[in-house]
Amino acid sequence: MRIVAKPLASIVSAGVTRFGIREGLYSRELFVEAAQEAFQGCPNLSPKKDVDGLFVGQMSESYEHQAHVAPMIADWLGLLPVPAFRSEAACASSGVALRCAIYAIQSGMHEVVVVGGVEKMTHLRTAAVTEMLGMASDYPFEQWHGISFPAIFAMMATAHMNEYGTTQEQLAKVAVKNHENGMLNPKAQFQKTITVDDVLKSRTVASPLKLYDCSPISDGASCLVLARPGLARNFTDTPVHIVGSAQAQDTLGLFEREDVTTMNVTKLAARKAYEMAGIRPEEVDVTEVHDCFTIAEIMAYEALGFCKPGEGGKLIDEGITRLGGKRPVNTSGGLKAKGHPVGATGTAQACEVYLQLTGQAGKRQVKGAEIGLTSNIGGSAATGVVHVYRRGD
Amino acid sequence: MSIVEVTRMTPTPPPTIESFYRFCAEKKLMGVRCNRCTKVTVPPRSVCSHCGASDLSWTELQGKGRLVTYTVIHLPPAQFQAIAPYAIGIVEFDEGARLPGMIKDTPFENLKIGMELQTDFETTTPQEWPRWPRYFFKQS
């Protein structure tokens, strides 16, 4: 018999904006849009009275020339004077914010908190955004030598293909699958299907990665209302419990790692999160992984224990991770098709799992999903965050 | 006497990134060797990245190594647009440590994981920060 793990915290509502080009909106306004959806979905919650903390993930001050965003967002949400925190871990900023929110609840110092993430990026030129994203790599040894951010993942792909025989077609199939799922998510940035051929014929960004192997530049926000497990029923009949939460770090520079074909942070965090949750990888019903580049999804399968090292390509070939397959991954469309407003991504993954486990995922619903998992990485996987969720029965 | 001159005269410069690139200007690839576990760490620092000891000494690397992985960048960051496409890779030196950098004077079709590469140094120093000459790799 399975040991039922004690919940660390409970999601009582969630909200996410439409991702994509959101012209005319500042990040604070996007965050409010996500939070309002979460608040409206939870009529028993009185935000001003009940919420006692705010956690925001955001990668960079540079996009909007705006630092000190936590009080600003608390103000725009009408939550002043609750303590507000901002965390930065590149693309894992809100995954880390979620962990901070769990710490707050587990400490006993907070009962109900809002945790989310946001990024506003599309108002800048592509070259400027590329440079800002590149800041997540090592400046004097990577950026300064002309190593772009896609190049970091391209080097992982080169090594993975060399070591295991993974092919460009297999990488392309990840993009094709995620675009198919994005078609079923009205909030996804891309609402069109693509073919393997489209991916292979798109321009090379950094070999072997093509333009369609890369997630887009996006605006968007995501938000969860998180409560102490004992209080969850005051707010909803259908809470989703977080039963595993783990994080690991690696060297900032890819070059300092022994094995560039593995995301060690995800492997370590997953192992711990499974242990906390008392589950095995094969028990996960629905998963969101960090497909900033297609190779990252293949490597995530392996790090999460969905297959053996080197067999990620086979998993995509066999259709196991498709919607309708045995182990659906990135039902939201993933970063590739849903979009990747970097600070918003970690909690957006949690929002998708919340929708799936509460039966609200519409056309992309995985029937009877009970256990969910999210895997969020920062930079070249110098940060790895894994959460395991269980439907509250 | 300027600060730069004083630093140059110091017999053992501090194990910093600044010192590493200062050595590059002298065409030397320098790391630190741990006096406890004997392993080499590059970039140099005051704590061994292998065993955590803080008893380290400067050591010169020969600059020869093998290509661990690589990519050819077609869509570069803004300041590298003039030279694209260009190859970059990670090299593991014979002494054990690794560094990433540009691979020059090597046709893209010759790039192969495991190939032998040699370190060389640029002779010019960029005008903008940080004002260091870069190291790079080429076919040996």
- Angular region, A146: left φ>0, alpha ψ -120 to 50, beta rest: left
- Which residues of B fall within a CB distance of 8 Å from A144? 130, 134
Q: What percent of chain A has pLDDT over 90?
A: 97
* pLDDT, mean of residues B109-115: 98
Q: Does B16 touch chain A (CB under 8 A)?
A: no
User: Which residues sit opposite B103 in a β-bridge?
Assistant: B87, B137
pLDDT tens digits, A20-54 = 999 999 999 999 999 999 999 999 999 999 999 99
Answer yes or no: do A145 and B134 touch at CB < 8 A. yes
* pLDDT, mean of residues A143-152: 96
Q: Does B48 touch chain A (CB under 8 A)?
A: no
Global ipTM: 0.95
Whether residue B24 is predicted with pLDDT greater than 80 in this model: the reply is yes
- What's residue B1's pLDDT? 41
> Would you place residue B5 in the very low, low, confident or very high pLDDT band (cuts 50, 70, 90)?
very low
Give me the helices (H) in B66-133, please. none
* C-alpha distance from B73 to closest chain A C-alpha (Å): 4
Q: Which of A168, A207, A260 to mutate to test the interface with B (most CBs of B within 10 A)?
A: A207
Structure tokens at A187: 């909030």
> Would you place residue B124 in the very low, low, confident or very high pLDDT band (cuts 50, 70, 90)?
confident
The helix/strand/coil state of B140 is: coil
Reading across the β-sheet that carries A383-391, which strands appear in turn? A84-87, A53-57, A112-119, A220-227, A9-16, A240-249, A383-391, A371-378, A286-288
User: Which residues sit opposite A14 in a β-bridge?
Assistant: A224
Residue A179 designated active-site:
no
pLDDT tens digits, B34-59 = 999 999 999 999 999 999 999 999 99
Answer yes or no: do A206 and B73 touch at CB < 8 A. yes
Report domain extents, chain B.
Answer: 3-60, 64-139
Whether residue B3 is predicted with pLDDT greater than 80 in this model: the reply is no
- Measured CA angle at A352 (ends A128, A242), to 5 deg: 110
Residue found under tokens 């936590």:
A70
- What's residue B88's pLDDT? 98
* pLDDT, mean of residues A165-184: 98
Whether residue A393 is predicted with pLDDT greater than 80 in this model: the reply is no
Whether residue A1 is predicted with pLDDT greater than 50 in this model: the reply is no
- What's residue B11's pLDDT? 65
Q: For chain A, list residues whose CB is within 8 angstroms of any CB belonging to chain B.
A: 127-128, 130-131, 134, 140-148, 150-151, 154-159, 162, 203-209, 251, 253-256, 260
Residue A91 designated active-site:
yes
- Which residues of B fall within a CB distance of 8 Å from A217? none
Structure tokens at A153: 């993942």
- Which residues of A fall within a CB distance of 8 Å from B78? 127-128, 130-131
Q: Does B86 touch chain A (CB under 8 A)?
A: yes
How far is Cα A279 from Cα A275, in angstroms, rounded to an integer?
Answer: 7
Q: Does B113 touch chain A (CB under 8 A)?
A: yes
pLDDT tens digits, A181-225 = 999 999 999 999 999 999 999 999 999 999 999 999 999 999 999
Of A131, A151, A209, which has the smallest distance from its Cβ to B88's Cβ?
A151
Q: Are A77 and A54 in contact (CB under 8 A)?
A: yes
Query: Scanning every residue of chain B, which has its alpha carbon at the shortest distance from the alpha carbon of A154?
Result: B71
* C-alpha distance from A376 to closest chain B C-alpha (Å): 24
Answer yes or no: do B73 and A203 touch at CB < 8 A. no
- What's residue B6's pLDDT? 45
* C-alpha distance from A146 to closest chain B C-alpha (Å): 6
* pLDDT, mean of residues A133-159: 96
> Would you place residue A2 in the very low, low, confident or very high pLDDT band (cuts 50, 70, 90)?
low
Among A179, A241, A290, A340, the active-site one is A340
Q: Which of B24, B50, B71 to mutate to test the interface with A (most CBs of A within 10 A)?
A: B71
Answer yes or no: do A206 and B102 touch at CB < 8 A. no
- Which residues of A fall within a CB distance of 8 Å from B71? 151, 154-155, 157-158, 206-209
* pLDDT, mean of residues A77-87: 98
Answer yes or no: do A145 and B78 touch at CB < 8 A. no
Whether residue A253 is predicted with pLDDT greater than 90 in this model: the reply is yes
- Which residues of A fall within a CB distance of 8 Å from B70? 155, 158
Q: Are B125 and B81 in contact (CB under 8 A)?
A: no
pLDDT tens digits, A277-325 = 999 999 999 999 999 999 999 999 999 999 999 999 999 999 999 999 9
- What's residue A3's pLDDT? 55
Of B49, B78, B101, which has the smallest distance from its Cβ to A145's Cβ?
B101
Among A91, A100, A214, A223, the active-site one is A91
Give me the helices (H) in chain B, please. 3-9, 17-25
Answer yes or no: do B75 and A150 touch at CB < 8 A. yes
Q: What percent of chain B has pLDDT over 70?
A: 92
* pLDDT, mean of residues A225-239: 97
Task: Tell me the average pLDDT of chain A.
Answer: 97
Whether residue B4 is predicted with pLDDT greater than 90 in this model: the reply is no
- What's residue B2's pLDDT? 45
Residue A195 CB partners (closer than 8 Å, separation 6+): A176
Answer yes or no: do B113 and A162 touch at CB < 8 A. yes
- Which residues of B fall within a CB distance of 8 Å from A148? 73, 75-77
Q: Domain B64-139: which CATH class?
A: mainly beta
- What's residue A213's pLDDT? 98
